[in-house]
Amino acid sequence: MSQTPQTPTPPTKFGRLSKTIAFWLMVILVPVFIIQYAGGSKDGASEVKYTEYGLQLQADNIQQVTVIGGKVIQGTFKSPVMINSRSVHKFSVKLPVSNSDKELDRLNEKGVIVDAQDPSPSIGALLVNLLPWIVIFGFWIFFLRQMQGGGNKAFSFGKSKAKLLTGDTPKVPFADVAGCDEAKEELQEIIEFLKDPQKFTKLGGRLPKGALLVGPPGTGKTLMARAVAGEAGRPFFSMSGSDFVEMFVGVGASRVRDLFEQGKASAPCIIFIDEIDAVGRHRGAGIGGGHDEREQTLNQLLVEMDGFESNEGVILVAATNRPDVLDPALLRPGRFDRQIVVDAPDLRGREGILRVHMRNKPMADDVDITSLARSTPGMAGADLANLVNEGALLAARRNHDKVYMVDLEEAKDRVQLGAERKSLVMKDEERRLTAYHEAGHAVCAIKVKGCDPLHKVTIVPRGRTLGVAYTLPEDDRVSITREQLEARLVMAYGGRVAEEMVFGRSRVTTGAASDIQMATGIARRYVSQWGLSDKIGPILVGDNEQELFLGAQLMSRREVSERTAQIVDEEVSRVINESYQKAKVVLTEHRDLLDVVALALLDRETLNRDDIKLLVEGGELPPRLPPEPSSPLLVPASAPAAAKAAPALLGGPEVAPA
């Protein structure tokens, strides 16, 4: 049975401090001892006793001496003397009495050559004299070590901050990436190219230089890059686009050069740059011109990707959710050979993503993954992961041993609409107004042709709304018809019309602000972008979605005349008024159904699809069961895939600002 290798324990703060102290002690003491012993060397002189020295002086066997500090005599014998079975020519002796005049007289009588010198300095005195030099030397050692460090060290601004994924880094296999099969296939081909390049080069193919992952936020672009790192088995350098640019001039370009130098040294390898739009924006955009630090960084990146010098074996993978702002030179073949779209998952993809995130969680038998996937169109991978996580947290809060479907449904409402505001106390009149507002949306959704099936109506306050009514498409949708758009406009004004019909014009509230905002946006695009107005025709009037920072609108001429702009405004007003009047007609014809749905909302607070169907058929709702304290009544809820242009959920009256 194999054992899992243990991760080495990082050194403690005390351990690092002790190593630092030991280093500096060595730096200071080693030179001191070297100087001390070098300066105080006795040139091989042997220490003898004073008695032996006196005998040799009496025998006239001393040639010359040197008196050191009046305490020590060093000298040489005329003839070597055997001391401790060893022949001694040079000697050293300590005087019993310092500065003895009688000792000098004895030496002079024997004709010995006498010299004198000061004693060598002690260690303490030497330290005092050398302390300034030691400090200077230590400072330079510290400075050089900082210069040689990486990342945030001094004089290393130009070093790349790329992280190299090693064998100890947790791997993400492709099996954990669901919902984007086409993108996986393209990236798997790159991985196969790295593992077996001859399979492709024998037919004349070349290694792709780059792949750009494009898609909305949360669709799994970074996750796919991590999966590539886990599957490739080659060095993988990861870096963010914001890590290139600093406040110092030339740092970004230097880091790009250093990054590709590391890549070339480890080729074949993969370099991943997340959020490349931070450095890859269109050059010359805005007011600042084209000579800023960011553009220098981009120029260096363009050269490294496809310049005179070859970077064979280095594949650049980048991710962005703003491909519209990238420089065209960055997107051409030879730099980014492939643009891989990672879009929001379809029904099958959402089901696969939910299964991946539910894999390690105890799920109850009543959890229907297919139904949950159908009720979450438009949700990205990150949204689904958050939904499953919120469901698990909610189940734990309710002391459940497993995650039940009721927990996931509640989590879905929480993710889409916000937490339930149980502390909000509404007056009876406000609850009645909210009920009729949502009932107006519901009746229009039921009776207007082109609306998606009504999925849920509730007057339970969530987020900034007091209630919500929304529809759910039966299938994933990639486009919207003219009939569906007009039906959504009618449904949007159903709440406002119901307030006016029941409570009178003077009692109409500001609660329809979000409905009006959504409807106005749809109507303007209906006329100016989608070409659905018979009076304007299939013409694009203006480009309101263009970003001002790109500089395209700063000095450009006006493309829409005053007359055309006036016609557009008139057409937008006409479309909105027609939708408002149609909503009034529908609610007038089905006033009885409006009252029935409103009273049911006041009684139940939440109506699901089956409840609404029963009310439309003229039936009565079954007796309401007492709700559990920790498990409120829950029904499926979602927003459709085409909600980007016109969301299929309509909020009730918003909370008025204080």
The residues carrying an active-site annotation are 438
- The answer to whether the CB of 456 falls within 8 A of the CB of 606 is yes
Round to whole Å and give the CA distance between 293 and 158.
Answer: 13
Query: 437: which 2 tokens?
Result: 């507002």
Round to whole Å and give the CA distance between 502 and 581.
Answer: 16
**Helix (H) or strand (E) segment spanning residue 608:** strand 606-608
- The answer to whether the CB of 319 falls within 8 A of the CB of 213 is yes
Q: Label the pairing between strands 86-94 and 72-83.
A: antiparallel
- The answer to whether the CB of 511 falls within 8 A of the CB of 603 is no
Q: Convert 101-111 to b/e letters by CB count within 10 Å (16 or more is b).
A: eebeeebeeee
Cβ within 8 Å of residue 577, ≥6 positions away? none
Tokens 């296939």, located at residue: 185
- The answer to whether the CB of 478 falls within 8 A of the CB of 641 is yes
CA distances from 536 to 126, 384, 563 (A): 96, 41, 11
Residue count of the chain: 658
- The answer to whether the CB of 71 falls within 8 A of the CB of 117 is no
Query: 67: which 2 tokens?
Result: 């008196």
User: N- to C-terminal Cα distance for the chain?
Assistant: 66
CA atoms within 13 A on the CB side of 559: 11
For the CA atoms of 454, 456, 459, 462, the dihedral, rounded to the nearest 10 degrees, stands at -120
CA angle 532, 534, 537 (to 5 degrees): 70
- The answer to whether the CB of 649 falls within 8 A of the CB of 470 is yes
Round to whole Å and give the CA distance between 297 and 427.
Answer: 60
- The answer to whether the CB of 495 falls within 8 A of the CB of 584 is no
Output the CA torsion sign for 529, 531, 532, 537: positive
DSSP assignment of 293-361 equals HHHHHHHHHHHHHSSSS--TTEEEEEEES-GGGB-HHHHSTTTS-EEEE-----HHHHHHHHHHHHTTS
Query: 406: which 2 tokens?
Result: 């009721």
Round to whole Å and give the CA distance between 303 and 335.
Answer: 9
DSSP assignment of 211-244 equals EEEE--TTSSHHHHHHHHHHHH-S-EEEEEGGGS
Query: 236: which 2 tokens?
Result: 């993988």
Strand segments, DSSP code E, in 27-99 are 46-47, 62-68, 72-83, 86-94
Query: Furthest-apart CA pair in the chain: how many Å?
Result: 146
Q: Label the pairing between strands 72-83 and 62-68.
A: antiparallel
Please tell me whether residue 141 adopts helix, strand or coil conformation.
helix
Query: 571: which 2 tokens?
Result: 């057409």
Q: What is the CA radius of gyration of the chain?
A: 43
